[in-house]
């Protein structure tokens, strides 16, 4: 098959890791793959060495500007006018506007759209009812033009049906290429992070996370909660790897709460997953999720995890001791203490068997089946 995968941004992030993983697996199985994106170089850097074709669209960007989305549609339409694809696979809400262009081309390509989360229409997303209704109406209209909507979690799929966003769809959990994971050993990872922070981490209990410093990841919760964490664990520190628009706010919160020697924002790091074994606990306090790629990486690193009980996280972890009620400080502290009380933390054989369904090869096989079986109706 000749497959075009479209995503709004090419910068590092969960959806981009998904696209990279899927594209590599499809390419290795002999399919012709082209990946289209807007700003950012992560996809170029990870896919070009594999010989996967890449195209950058100037007007494909994360925006609420309707004119920009229309211009992207024109860009895509011009691109498709001279090319034939069997499948066009869209990812992210702004890329979804390309569905209109593909349909106007009367393309015979099957059109797939993966919802990596429900964004504004998610019940946990802080937005007015008017905004939610407007986005719901727009998404519903665009999704009617898609051959098959794909959800990364059962919870998102069921909620989308409940609110009338879709009538049908497929659930395919995210996966990663585990054979390419190269975690640094615990001590080496700690030494490297120590050098970046300018302090020694040897005697600290490290609560770590990897994610964008942006609203969905909800790092405000971790910062607000940290004084209580320190009361329970006097040698605790937090390390957040990632960058984003909320850095300044987080820095102000850290200073106001006198946590400058406790909570560290160390920015983006190449292959950030490699440092996960440095953490005594991996946490993700997200307001909403589809299915977090960094949680999958932490799961395969086999470190203790404590994440908010949202989206596909309970399906992924399959262990109620590793999740807590969203924004519930007391529940977080309770679960944290329960995890710390377990001596010699290890993953069970049952857990490892459950984890196998989140491998990149399994994910790609399911997408190939969807590509081959769906028909526009």
Is the Cβ–Cβ distance between 35 and 12 less than 8 Å? no
CATH number for the domain including 92?
Answer: 3.40.50.2000
| Cα(269)–Cα(283) distance, integer angstroms | 18
- Whether 54 and 141 map to the same domain: the answer is yes
Residues 83 and 212 in one domain: no
Phi, psi of 97 (to 5 degrees): -65, -20
Domain shared by 129 and 267, yes or no: no
The DSSP letter of residue 176 is B
| CA distance linking residue 216 with residue 227, whole number of Å | 22
Q: How many domains does the chain have?
A: 2
Q: Show the tokens assigned to 305.
A: 């995890």
- Do 162 and 192 fall into the same domain? no
Clarify whether residues 242 and 121 are in a common domain.
no
DSSP 86: S
Same domain, 236 and 157: no
**What residue ranges of the chain have pLDDT lower than 70?**
373-377
| One domain, residues 54 and 154 | yes
Nearest to 265 by CA among 284, 276, 251: 251
| Alpha-carbon span 119 to 110, nearest angstrom | 24
Same domain, 167 and 187: no
The pLDDT tens digits for 215-242 are 999 999 999 999 999 999 999 999 999 9
246 sits in which H/E element? none
How far apart are the C-alpha atoms of 263 and 213, rounded to whole Å? 13
Q: Within this chain, do residues 128 and 206 fall inside the same structural domain, yes or no?
A: no
User: Quick one: 106 and 50 in the same domain?
Assistant: yes
Q: 256-293, pLDDT tens digit by residue?
A: 999 999 999 999 998 999 999 999 999 999 999 999 99
Domain of 264?
A: 179-357
For residues 206, 194, 286 and 308, what is the CA-based torsion angle, rounded to 10 degrees?
A: -10
Q: Are residues 364 and 254 in the same domain?
A: no
- Domain shared by 231 and 331, yes or no: yes
pTM for the complete prediction?
Answer: 0.91
Structure tokens at 54: 């890449």
């Amino acid at each position: 098959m000749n497959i075009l995968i479209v995503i709004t941004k090419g910068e590092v992030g969960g959806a981009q890791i998904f696209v990279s993983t899927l594209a590599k697996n499809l390419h290795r199985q002999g399919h012709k793959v082209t990946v289209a994106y807007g700003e950012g170089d992560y996809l170029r850097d990870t896919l070009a060495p594999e010989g996967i074709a890449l195209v950058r669209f100037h007007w494909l960007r994360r925006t609420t500007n309707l004119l920009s989305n229309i211009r992207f549609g024109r860009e895509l339409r011009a691109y498709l006018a001279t090319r034939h694809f069997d499948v066009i696979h869209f990812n992210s809400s702004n890329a979804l506007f390309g569905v209109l262009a593909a349909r106007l081309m009367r393309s015979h390509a099957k059109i797939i759209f993966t919802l990596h989360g429900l964004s504004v229409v998610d019940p946990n997303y802080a937005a007015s009812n008017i905004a939610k209704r407007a986005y719901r109406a727009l998404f519903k209209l665009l999704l009617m033009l898609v051959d098959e909507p794909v959800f990364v979690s059962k919870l998102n799929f069921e909620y989308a049906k409940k609110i009338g966003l879709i009538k049908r769809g497929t659930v395919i959990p995210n996966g990663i290429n585990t054979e390419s994971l190269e975690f640094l050993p615990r001590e080496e990872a700690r030494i490297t992070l120590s050098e970046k922070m300018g302090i020694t981490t040897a005697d600290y209990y490290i609560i770590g996370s990897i994610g964008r410093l942006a609203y969905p990841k909800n790092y405000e919760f971790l910062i607000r909660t940290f004084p209580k964490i320190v009361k329970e664990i006097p040698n605790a520190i937090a390390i957040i790897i990632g960058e984003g628009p909320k850095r300044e706010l987080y820095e102000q919160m850290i200073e106001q709460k006198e946590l400058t020697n406790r909570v560290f924002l160390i920015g983006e790091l190449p292959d950030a997953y490699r440092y996960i074994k440095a953490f005594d606990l991996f946490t993700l306090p997200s307001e909403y999720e589809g299915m977090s790629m960094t949680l999958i990486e932490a799961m395969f690193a086999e470190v203790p995890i404590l994440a908010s009980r949202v989206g596909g996280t309970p399906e992924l972890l399959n262990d109620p001791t590793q999740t807590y009620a969203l924004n519930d400080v007391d529940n977080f502290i309770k679960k944290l203490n329960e995890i710390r009380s377990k001596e010699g933390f290890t993953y069970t054989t049952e857990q490892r068997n459950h984890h196998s369904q989140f491998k990149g090869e399994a994910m790609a096989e399911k997408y190939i089946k969807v590509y081959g079986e769906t028909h526009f109706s």
